[in-house]
Amino acid sequence: MMIWNRRSRFGSEPNIQEEYGKFEKLCSFKIHHSRLFMKNRGVTYEYGAIDYYDYVDMDVFSIYELADMEVTTDAELPQEHSIVGDDEEEA
C-alpha cells in the first residue's frame, strides 16, 4: 500500500518534522528528473525539474514504488541517456 504523495511545486514547504510526528519510518525523497547530461568543461546536468515525495514509508518502500514515483512526474523521461557536448560531430 502506497501512502506517499508528490508535493505541489507551487505550494509552501511543509514542516516535515511536525507533520511526521512520531512516525519514525516516514521520510521524504527529492527526485531530480528530465535533465540532459552536457559535456562542457566536465559533465553537468542542464534543464531539469525537481519533485518531492512525502510520507514515504521505509518499511514498505521498494524499487517498484520508486518506479511509480517516476510515473507521477509530469515529464517524459528518455529511454536512453546520452551525453551532449560541443565536441561531438554531427552525422
Q: Where are the domains of the chain?
A: 24-80
Give the pLDDT band of residue 16 (cuts 50, 70, 90): confident
> With the C-alpha atoms ordered 49, 17, 72, 10, is the resulting torsion angle positive or negative?
negative
pLDDT at position 39: 75
Q: What is the pLDDT of residues 19-75, one digit of tens each?
A: 888 888 898 888 877 777 777 777 777 777 888 899 899 998 888 888 888 776 654
* Whether this model's pTM surpasses 0.85: no
Helix, coil or strand: residue 85: strand
d(CA 6, CA 28): 10
